[in-house]
Amino acid sequence: MKLLDGKTGIIFGVANKRSIAWAIAQSLSAAGMRLAFTYQGDRLKENVAELAGTLPKSLLYPCDVTSDTEIAGVFEALGRETGALDALVHSVAFAQREDLEGAFSKTSREGFRVAHDISAYSLVALTRAALSLLEKSGQASVVAMTYYGAEKVATGYNVMGVAKASLEATIRYLAADVGARGIRVNAISAGPVNTLAARGIRGFTEILKHHAEKAPLKRNVELREVGDTALFLASPLSSGITGEVIYVDCGYHIMAV
């Protein structure tokens, strides 16, 4: 019997086969979890549907995480299909390109709002809408993705680093808020991986090289390793862990110089 047999999870943020969210989906599915996926707009629907179709009994729903109406619709449909929810994976982040380039002091008011709405507040909105389904699990897990740029200044990360800092604080407050309902909330701080989203960060190739040189393991993290950490956090093996940021970065964050 697999670790997550009979469990159901939903993943927000799959874009393509190289995305962190898809690596997480593969690890959870391999452990026996039935998965639902969401997509934003028709442009992404085909990619996500094709990937979801490779996994058994997967479900697919449209969802714009800035719309409370669409979020509610996802969990209403999921509830009719499954009755309960054991894991929610938040791998959603966005900032306007112009706010990732140049001086941070030039961040626009609208750009700051958009980055925080999509990258941080969406976790609050998703968890709130899913509460009744998560509570029925008895041992549910919410997992979000963050990055070290939330703690230290990362060149080219700018407003996204500030939004990720907000996300990490959100993790702690949500964990305290929903813990009595048997729901755990944690984050994974992954080292840089070559995803489509990461390529939008100026100088990303040099960032990869720097991490591999400075990390104790002398390499960059693999997508599989991030996926397997999400599996751990979604499983009963991590039943005593909540409100934490788990680093999966080959040890890079422990180094001072």
Query: Given this model, what pLDDT does residue 1 score?
Result: 75
147 catalytic, yes or no?
yes
Query: Given this model, what pLDDT does residue 147 score?
Result: 96
DSSP secondary structure code for residue 237 in this structure: G
Show the beta-strand stretches assigned E in 80-130: 87-90
Query: Given this model, what pLDDT does residue 257 score?
Result: 79
148 catalytic, yes or no?
no
β 59-62/8-12 pair status: unpaired
Name which of 53, 134, 146, 36 is nearest 91 in CA terms.
146
Out of 39, 61, 147, 247, the active site residue is: 147
Instruction: Give 3-state DSSP helix, strand, coil % of the chain, rounded to 5.
Output: 50, 15, 35
Query: Given this model, what pLDDT does residue 135 score?
Result: 98
Query: Given this model, what pLDDT does residue 191 score?
Result: 95
Out of 39, 61, 148, 157, the active site residue is: 157
Query: Given this model, what pLDDT does residue 72 score?
Result: 98
The CA-atom distances, in angstroms, between 234 and each of 44, 102, 167, 213 are 26, 38, 19, 31
Query: Given this model, what pLDDT does residue 155 score?
Result: 85
Walk along the chain (257 residues) in steps of 10 and give the mean pLDDT of each run. Answer: 95 94 98 97 92 97 98 98 97 94 94 98 98 97 97 92 98 98 98 74 82 96 97 98 98 93
Domains recognised in the chain with CATH numbers: 8-192+222-247 (3.40.50.720)
Q: 115 and 165 in contact (C-beta within 8 Å)?
A: no
**pTM, full prediction:** 0.95
The H or E element containing residue 142 is strand 140-146
